[in-house]
Amino acid sequence: MLLFDKKALAAFRQNKIALVGLGLLLIIIGAAVFADFITPYDVRVQDVRNRYQPPSMEHFLGTDEYGRDVFSRVIIGSRVSLKVGIISISIAMVFGVFLGAYSGFKGGWIDQVLTKVIDSLMTFPSLILGILVVAALGPGERNAIIAIAIAFIPRFARVARGPSIVLKENEFIMASRACGATDLRVILHHILPNLVGEVVVMGSLWVSTAIIIEASLSFLGLGVQPPTPSWGMMIKAGMDDIQMAPWLSIFPGLAISLAVLAFNLLGDGLRDLLDPKLLK
């Protein structure tokens, strides 16, 4: 597998952009994991006397309309974004890749029908597809994860289908089939392992899109519900006081942008690793 190749690892170490992305990502994950130790204030405790405090030494990023510490809320908010982004993409990856690999491997009418359905779903932007599912299931964190996962299944399926069509013509696959391996076995043991590299790259790039969609759904009130802080929701809440307390919207948005940037940089770096033209 190319991803764990020594040469590739060395190339990855030289890819400064990818390293910056990885570093940024580790900081964000660290903040999410150790949030309880980092946050100076309890995110739910209201302090009415200290409402709308601008950023200061006591409150790095100021306080909101209930006097809650914005810095603490931004840190805790990273949990929702990372959780929804990573879990939804992982679910989509499992279902989408299997579907795409199966479709490409089987060929024939199954492939034709699946491809038509996938193409049709692909014409819908993932945000609108996500809204469609949330509109049907109702708002909330779990439903946001399901909605984003469904929105990305066709995308993963398309990534997996192409290479599996090429792979199935290989001799080792024919040999395996000649030995009597079932379709499922061939797909699981021979096709999927060969797709891992490409799928992981797309996955890390799409986590960034998933984070944006999660933030968009929260912004529209369709994602995580209060009092759990999420970045999108914080931006929306801050909009009401944008003239008086702009920091309420600025900092959560900055956090989203940094998280998205981290996954974009990492994904770009990983893609360079897989590109044989760039890997000498």
Partner 1 sequence: MFAYAVRRVLFTIPMLFFVFTVIFFIMRVAGGDPTYSILGEHASAEAVVQLRLKLGLDDPLSVQYISALKNLIKGDLGNSLINDRPIAPQIMKVLPYTIELTIAAIIIGLVIGIPSGVAAALKRNGMTDYLLRVFSLAGLSMPSFYLGVLLLLAFSVQLDWFPIIGFTRSENFLDRLHCLFLPALSLGLNKAAFVSRVTRSNMLERLGSDYVRTARAKGLSEFKVIFKHTLKDCMIPIVTVSGVYVGVLLGGAILTESIFNRPGLGKFLVEAISQRDYNAIQSGLVFYGILIVLINLAVDIIYGFIDPRVKYE
Residues that bind partner 1 (CB under 8 A): 120-121, 123-128, 131-137, 208, 212, 215-216, 219-222, 235, 238-239, 242-243, 246, 249-250, 253, 256-258, 260-261, 264-265
Give least dist CB 121 to partner 1, A.
Answer: 8
Q: Which is nearer to partner 1, 71 or 231 (CB)?
A: 231
Question: What is the chain's Cα-based Rg?
Answer: 22
Considering the complex, state which of residue 42 and residue 240 has its C-beta at the smaller distance from partner 1: 240
Q: Is 69 helix (H, G, I), strand (E, B) or coil?
A: strand
- Of 89 and 101, which CB lies nearer to partner 1 in the complex structure? 89
Write the DSSP assignment of 10-32 as a string of letters. Answer: HHHHH-HHHHHHHHHHHHHHHHH
Residue 278 CB, shortest distance to partner 1, in Å, is 13
Shortest reach from residue 189's CB to partner 1, in Å: 34
Select 22 or 258, whichever has its Cβ closest to partner 1.
Answer: 258
Asked whether the CA dihedral 10, 13, 18, 22 is positive or negative, the reply is: positive
Q: Which amino acid is at 211?
A: I
**Residue 266: DSSP 8-state:** H
C-beta atoms surrounding 150 within 10 Å: 21
Nearest residue (CB) to partner 1, 92 versus 186 = 92
| Tokens 């193409």 sit on residue | 119
In the bound state with partner 1, the residue whose beta carbon lies nearer, of 150 and 186, is 150
Query: Rounded to an integer, what distance in angstroms lies between the CA atom of residue 43 and that of residue 33?
Result: 15
Q: How far is the CB of 87 from partner 1 (least distance, A)?
A: 20
Q: How far is the CB of 190 from partner 1 (least distance, A)?
A: 33
Tokens of 75: 């840190």
12 touches 205 (CB < 8 A): no
Min dist. Cβ of residue 40 to partner 1 (A): 25
Nearest partner of 232 among 248, 216, 247, 209, judged by Cα: 216
Report in angstroms how near the CB of residue 246 gets to partner 1 at its nearest: 5
- CB hemisphere CA count around 60 (13 angstroms): 11
User: Smaller CB distance to partner 1: residue 90 or 264?
Assistant: 264
